[in-house]
Structure 1
């Protein structure tokens, strides 16, 4: 029974199923395909040590002091350079440093949404984004996805009859679906945003974890081509490519909302950790990030290929999936009716955990779906995990 002293909007937010599952994944002998966390064995300890030495020898006064709410100017400039490599043109004035991209989503939800505003998400979508929008008391609508990402035609049909405030999308190697929005759909989504005047929140934690030779042009870059930059807000993070414990993310936002984000940031936590920002800046200055990304891509691609191959050979009669082009997740669906939340009890008994898919839906959950993360599991344990999944059927 809930305590009436707690605010209604907090009482109504679902606890993250993934956080609950992490309890099981810590049990001895359990192989976890559940957590969406990067492989700690690939953290660049040597590079981080070099960066921290620089912090402590050259920048220690600033690193241990209060800082600007919008973030350190040096790091914001470095992020502009990183953004240029992703085909995004921006200035330091448009960048706000956040405590991970989760804070970016929380602040954007609070700045943008009035209770009852319609926010459109993909089906399925990132669970913690749903929590942010629920806290902001948004009315959630969803459109389907397939192997080419969000079904933008479905969105077009929706916006013709419904006034929406924003669309939230993870267009590149999404979480949880592992799919990538096609160029044609990216262009159409940005055009719809201009025509119907809604905001796009482009969440991009994974685009650097690319298993292909193709660079996927961000929605933000498409918007700059058709003079629609005012309607597209871009968020990203160093969590998946450097160190999630540093909690450093960023927002690239047009002027009309950037000022409000900075004001909210002041009220929320004053600023992102000066120490984390300084560490991140000095790491970027080492020039080690490109080699680090190359290593992460190669390792994750190999594991993704292994898991895809095992599912095809061992579970192909049961499961279908779209092969990811990058990122950290594989999304699968049973070819027949199967409640994966119920099935989890059986797989737990066999010593393997995944995330049931129903938790990633704003509405109409598909209970025969599941998300698996391959990045932190050894190849031997991937084989064992699939064998245990097969045994539990």
Structure 2
């Protein structure tokens, strides 16, 4: 007997980040690789109390099958929260997903045919490339600067099924679009008839001032919006959401039903119990303060230890530094040497849909204490300087 795999299976590839994380389990490795929220920020006590209340007040309902759309009070909370950011939507446009990663998969399932064009930033989120790839699209990388896609570059994307963007503290680059760039991008998308998939897992993690209004606030019927509870509560709950134009919602719901019937209702009820009375207003600022201190520690370490010619942009929020090394460096080839020296990072090549820049890397600052950030960046600097000395 021979198992014949579908053609789409050939486009399924392991996550380089997940593979690197296996290596970082070795003792003594300072991992600046994983994009994991800091576990110290998980609201364990609030979750414990909410779980007890849910099981005391609605045990049968919490443990039973539930509506595919999601827990109605949670959907209402999402709609109300987005309204405070200038984005108008109704609760019946909100679809609760099993992490926002499922939202990416559902978008690909509903919107893509083999050979369809998907426009993406350069670089872009590796998980989105992995989610879309099984549906056999052609990726088109849009030219970007320190704020993201250049409006003039969107002409090349005319006719694409959608443009995928992370406007807030992008993974991997950490960049954030200003209000004027958002206005210009959406005006050009509307002119070209180019729909947008807006992914916003990091928008609440700003350090000094919140980002501008979502892209979906400009044109709600042309934007499919994705959000997540992973970065502000706990990723292990696997809880995200989509806000869909009414034209798309029925098919996204049907795709969701076919995938998993519904996101765990127990998780949804517990999260709603935690957040319904304003818990995040007190909790999220503590996360921001922690991450900002760690960002500042990494900035100082980069300035002290990296060789001349290295470039990075100071992130105003989120979780990542994106570092560009001088030409001639290959961060994928250097990774084993860095691990031997006691530090791990993510090579930047994996984040490009085409023409990867081998001299780039991503560093996460949120799961490592400042003193370990200093240790890890010092080790990275030594590896880079040693490599630089032997280059022709």
| Normalised TM-score (structure 2) | 0.95
Answer whether contact 1:207 1:327 (CA < 8 A) is retained: yes
1:257 aligns with 2:253: no
1:232 aligns with 2:223: yes
CA distance in 2, matches of 1:4, 1:58: 49
Give the root-mean-square deviation of aligned CA atoms: 1.3
1:141 partner SS: strand
Map 1:279-298 → 2, pairs under 5 A: 279-298=270-289
Answer whether contact 2:331 2:361 (CA < 8 A) is retained: yes
* Cross-structure match for 2:366: 375
Answer whether contact 1:33 1:353 (CA < 8 A) is retained: yes
Map 1:186-205 → 2, pairs under 5 A: 186-205=182-201
* Cross-structure match for 1:24: 23
Shift of 1:328: 0.6
CA distance in 2, matches of 1:169, 1:232: 10
1:392 partner SS: helix
Shift of 1:80: 1.1
Shift of 1:35: 0.4
Answer whether contact 1:118 1:140 (CA < 8 A) is retained: yes
CA distance in 2, matches of 1:232, 1:289: 26
Q: Aligned pairs, how many?
A: 383
CA distance in 1, matches of 2:218, 2:101: 24
CA distance in 2, matches of 1:58, 1:274: 14
* Cross-structure match for 1:68: 67
* Cross-structure match for 1:226: none
Unaligned runs of 5+ in 1: 224-228
Q: Deviations over 1:245-294 (max 9, x none)?
A: 11110000011100001111111100000111011110112432111100
* Cross-structure match for 1:165: 161
Q: Deviations over 1:335-380 (max 9, x none)?
A: 2320000110110111110000000000000000000000000111
Worse-matched range after superposition: 143-152 or 122-131: 143-152
* Cross-structure match for 1:177: 173
Shift of 1:185: 1.9
CA distance in 1, matches of 2:47, 2:60: 19
Unaligned runs of 5+ in 2: 385-392
CA distance in 2, matches of 1:333, 1:35: 18
1:210 aligns with 2:206: yes
1:346 aligns with 2:342: no
2:308 is matched with which residue: 306, 309, 317?
317
1:80 aligns with 2:79: yes
* Cross-structure match for 2:139: 140
* Cross-structure match for 1:307: 298
Shift of 1:241: 0.5
Answer whether contact 2:168 2:211 (CA < 8 A) is retained: no
Map 1:36-185 → 2, pairs under 5 A: 36-156=35-155, 158-159=156-157, 162-185=158-181
Worse-matched range after superposition: 165-174 or 46-55: 46-55
Shift of 1:194: 1.6
CA distance in 1, matches of 2:140, 2:13: 17
Q: Deviations over 1:222-246 (max 9, x none)?
A: 22xxxxx221110000000001111
Shift of 1:210: 0.3
CA distance in 1, matches of 2:58, 2:89: 26
Answer whether contact 2:165 2:197 (CA < 8 A) is retained: yes
